[in-house]
Structure 1
Amino acid sequence: MNEKTARAIMLVKAIEEADQHKEVLTDDDRKFAGRTARELAHWQAAEQRSAATLPDFLLHRAEQLLKRLAARHKMFASVTQGHSGMWGASWLLPLAALLVGGMAERFGDPHRVDVLSMPLLGIIAWNMLAYLLLILWALLPARRAGLRRGLANRMALGSGHVPRRLPHALAGGVLQFMVDWARLGARLNLARIARILHWSAAAFAVGAILSLYARGIVERYATGWESTFLSPWHVYRLLSVLFAPAEQIFGLEGFSMDEVMGLQNWGESHPGNGARWVHLYAASLVLYVVLPRLVLGAVAAARAMWLRQRFPLDLDQPYFHQLSAAAGGEPGLLRVLPYSLTVDEARSKGLDTVAQEMLGEQARVRLLPPASYGSEAPLLEPGEGVTNAVLFGLAATPEQENHGAFLAALSKGRKLVALLDQSALAARTDASRLSERIELWREFCILHGAEPRVVDLLAPATAAGSPA
């Protein structure tokens, strides 16, 4: 699935989940989009002589719904055509870096080539430091990856904002989409940021090189150096190490200790010396900065292209299971594990309604034997079209050593829904205390890797379909 397809699907998903009362997209809108998408997906599959896939169905359905929303709400059209915040920076930053690089050496004397030119030495030193930081950055543990995604999250949608005068449900859906999309696209945007920064660094060095040669055409460079702390021997050793690769690869003429001593304090400068130093500096910038940065930028560009064509959208979610049945796939299965809770006949029927709300009208429920308080989590085998859920009663207070350990063990490496049944507590407490308990459980479940979903199994229509 490519980035454009995933974006349309995720935008519709966020809007539908925010539009619980179906004020923005009616049942007729959704049914029409589903029928049309199913026909288009099968027609496209027949043309390509292949089987219809769920991503194809989801894309056609999303396109139908987005067209309806754009026709009804003119301000919404800008959201459907959103661009990444990096589409302009991809060429603006390298261009700006080229111009700034061309001015880097102009801070010094325009008629001199300083052997210890701070702008040019600074470019090389900064890039050496950058390479070291890249190596250390790559070695950071995976659990610290969130530190690396902050910039990517901020740039994911660029100047994206919620347009004014949109219905409340539609505006809420767009806002939730921005949060979800920034998280999903973090890896892709990190690759794009890396590409921009590497190519900008290369452009900066190219600008400095072009500036040196352009000024050398109309001006005569004098060469020398001066330093308060460095002796001629120190300068000779520094430049010998710095220019050694350029001398070997490009066959440029080096310099001797006597020449370095003669150039101290600009004492002896010969007409041909300026060109030699320019060639050495330019060749060194090419070797140390331009070529490595171009290669690193190309690697980042290739990674971005690969991620853009294989966008990591997880279709193993209740929302997609529900649409899979509408696309003609197998009905979803909600596998429920009660924790320290007995499910009577009335609540069992409520689970059927919850499953249909989550996974579609044909969804089925498999109720597992309840786990006793304090017991270890059982092993739940994965299965296609299966959504695993743990059922808690909100009357209980969440405990780290029991409920938390149970959730953490079950959610490790798999998708897990936490069904929070409010039926028992709602009958004997007021609305404010119920709201506080719901919020407490929601935060607790999210902390332990489960997706919270509040339900009332004795009146499922009043709470089913209320994700966190």
Structure 2
Amino acid sequence: MNEQAARDVVLVRAIETADHAREILSEDDRRHASRSATELAQWQASHAGLPVTADTFLQQRAGQILQRLSERHAAFGAMLRRSGALKLFWTGLPVVALLAGIFMDRITDAHRVDLLSPPLLLIIGWNLAVYASLLVWRWLPFGKLKNSESTLVRLLSMGRTRLPRKLPPVLANALLAFLAEWGQLSRRLTLDRLARTLHLGSALFAIGAVLSLYARGYVAQYSAGWESTFLDAGQVHALLSALFMPAMAIFPLQGFSLADIEALHFGQTPSSSLGGARWVHLYAATLFLLVVLPRVLLAGAAQWRVNKETRNFPLNLEQPYFRKLLKALGGAPGMLRVLPYSFAVDEARDKGLSQLAVRLLGEHARLMLRPSVAYGDEPHDALREFKLNDSEATVTAVLFSLAATPEKENHGALLDHLVRASARGIAVLIDESGYLERVGTQAGGKERMAERIDLWRQFCRFHQAPATFVNLLHPDAHTLDDGAGLALSATT
């Protein structure tokens, strides 16, 4: 699935997730989109002589839904057709860098080549520092931080997007959720694009500086030399020898001696007016070897990654939302496997879990209810016979009661064990029905419920297992965001 198709699919998922009340997309709209997408995907596959793929089906379905919403809401359709300024940014920044290199003030005097030119030395020194940082970045403390919340990355992933005022609230909320999610999903691709652009811009900036040197040389006579308060001729000779050594080793350029450097000290001899072209060639060759060539190679590597990710965007289709949709293409029904902890699931709550499985994985979904783990049992011993990574289970979730107070040595120990042992992740279901019956009608009951929910949410987040709150006696009381919380248990 390419980037554009993945973006459409993620946008449709955000819309369907936000529209849990079916305000802008009825159930008939969704079923019709699935049927039409199935027919189109099968027709395309038959025409090409290939099997039907999930990518094709989801892409066709997303196109159907977006077209229908565009017809119903003109502002939404206009926003989809509007092209952002990102393409201009990606192509314009290197051009600006080239022009900046050409017109950079004081790159050299109109009649002078400074052997210790600060701008040229700064260009070379900065790029060498960048190469060094790229080699050690991953081992630096701040280089390990995940900048998933970076404003810059989110801005570069979608551009500055303004939502139309005439959109229905549900659709506006869905778009906001999509922008946040897409910024996360496309983070790697955005960073690769940014790396490509910056490397290319740096190469073009150096090329612009070289062009500026040669352009002035055709219309003015350069006077080559140097001057320094702290460096003598020997030190300048050593510095320039090290700087120009790669260029002189590769290209047939004229070298220089200590006597040449002494003779080129400004103000000491009239011979300093000679030999400007030699130093222009040396600087140009050095900039090519140390700046232009490495930056072009780095930009090419980044572009290769961009092409790869653009053609095959890494969108995880193992999440319950996609598994539920892909049942339209056939295949075994999904299975929700539930592991209760210190929780006796009666008949009514068992039915609630079955309804939950259908909402998550489709009408043919199955429920596998495991025996409850007793309070205080050692997780390793209690789950000795439990095949956590069984491929038959689409989603595996631990079931807790909101009435229980989360304890690190019991509930936390179980979650830690499951998170470590699971190759596909683990989710958490927290049933509020028992606690709601106990405190719901009491004075301050709502506040107590909110406090307990917040406590469980923070507890599960700490143990790296996102919590989904449900009411098993009234399964429709909560929206499940099509398994947003449970999705982690189906990721690979």
TM superposition score category, shorter chain reference: over 0.9
Q: Distance in 1 between matches of 2:392 and 2:254?
A: 68
Which residue in 2 is equivalent to 1:170?
A: 171
Residue 376 of structure 1 corresponds to: 379
Distance of 2:249 and 2:106 partners within structure 1: 29
Tell me how far 1:78 sits from its aligned partner. Answer: 4.5
Report the CA distance between 1:79 and its aligned residue: 4.4
User: Deviation per CA, 1:21-67, whole angstroms, max 9, x where unpaired?
Assistant: 11011111101101101111111111122221222111111111111
In the alignment, which of 266, 269, 282 is matched to residue 284 of structure 2?
A: 282
Give TM-score scaled by structure 1 length. 0.95
Is the aligned partner of 1:180 residue 2:189? no
Q: TM-score, normalised by structure 2?
A: 0.90
Give the residue type in structure 1 aligned to 2:246: P
> How many residues are aligned here?
468
Fraction of identical pairs, as percent:
47
Q: Whole-Å Cα distance in 1 between the matches of residues 371 and 15 of structure 2?
A: 36
Distance (Å, rounded) in 2 between the aligned partners of 1:425 and 1:276:
85
Which residue identity does 1:312 align to in structure 2? P
- One-letter identity of the residue aligned with 1:462: A
1:104-143, aligned counterparts within 5 Å?
Answer: 104=104, 106=106, 108-140=108-140
SS at match of 2:62: helix
Partner of 1:199: 200
The alignment partner of 1:340 has SS state of coil
| Deviation for aligned residue 1:385 | 6.0
Q: Tell me how far apart the structure 2 counterparts of residues 103 and 179 of structure 1 sit (CA, whole Å).
A: 39
Equivalent residue, structure 2, for 1:98 = 98
| Cα distance between partner residues in 1 of 2:456 and 2:165 | 33
Tell me how far apart the structure 2 counterparts of residues 382 and 85 of structure 1 sit (CA, whole Å): 47
Q: Which residue of structure 2 lines up, in the alignment, with residue 421 of structure 1? A: 431
Q: What is the CA distance between 1:446 and its match in structure 2?
A: 3.2
Which stretch shows the higher mean deviation, 447-456 or 341-350? 447-456
Output one character per residue of 1:368-426: Cα deviation in whole Å (capped at 9) or x when no partner: 11122243163502415611111111111222333233223323442322111111011
Q: Which amino acid aligns with 1:387?
A: V
Map 1:331-342 to 2 at 5 A: 331-342=333-344
CA distance in 1, matches of 2:207, 2:392: 54
Give the letter for the 1:359 counterpart.
L
Q: The residue matched to 1:336 in structure 2 has which SS?
A: strand
Amino acid at match of 1:68: R
Q: Which amino acid aligns with 2:429?
A: L
* Gap regions ≥5 residues in structure 2: 440-444, 486-492
Determine the structure 1 residue equivalent to 2:331.
Answer: 329
Q: Secondary structure at the match of 2:397?
A: strand
- The 1-side partners of 2:90 and 2:267 are apart by 43
Q: 1:273 to 1:124 in 2, by over 3 A?
A: same
CA shift at 1:443, angstroms? 3.2
Question: Counterpart in 2 of 1:312?
Answer: 314
Query: Residues 54-94 of structure 1: CA distance to partner in whole angstroms, max 9, x if unpaired?
Result: 22111111111111111111221244346676422221111
**Any gaps of 5 or more consecutive residues in structure 1?**
none
**What is residue 402 of structure 2 aligned with on the other side?**
394
| 1:111-142 Cα shifts (integer Å, max 9, x gaps) | 11001000001100000001011111144589
Distance 2:192 2:29 in 1: 38
Q: Separation in 2 of the partners of 1:98 and 1:245?
A: 24
Q: Which amino acid aligns with 2:9?
A: I
Larger mean Cα displacement after TM superposition, 451-460 or 287-296? 451-460
Is the 1:316–1:385 Cα contact (8 Å) retained in structure 2? no
Which stretch of structure 1 is more off in the superposition, 30-39 or 150-159? 150-159
Cross-structure match for 1:354: 356
> Displaced runs of 4+ in structure 1, greater than 6 A?
none
More displaced stretch, 25-34 vs 71-80: 71-80
The CA distance in 2 between the partners of 1:82 and 1:329, in whole Å, is: 38
CA distance in 2, matches of 1:228, 1:300: 43
Give the 3 Å change call, closer, same or farther, for CA 78–132 of structure 1 in structure 2: farther
Partners of 1:112 and 1:336 in 2: CA distance: 79
Distance of 1:48 and 1:107 partners within structure 2:
59
- Paired residue for 1:408? 416
Cα distance change of structure 1 residues 148 and 68 upon mapping to structure 2, 3 Å threshold? closer
**Alignment pair present for 1:449 and 2:452:** no
Match of 1:63? 63
Q: Which amino acid aligns with 2:191?
A: L
Contact 1:85–1:156 at 8 Å: present in 2 too? no
Q: Tell me how large the CA RMSD over aligned residues is.
A: 2.1
Q: For residue 439 of structure 1, what is the amino acid of its counterpart?
A: D
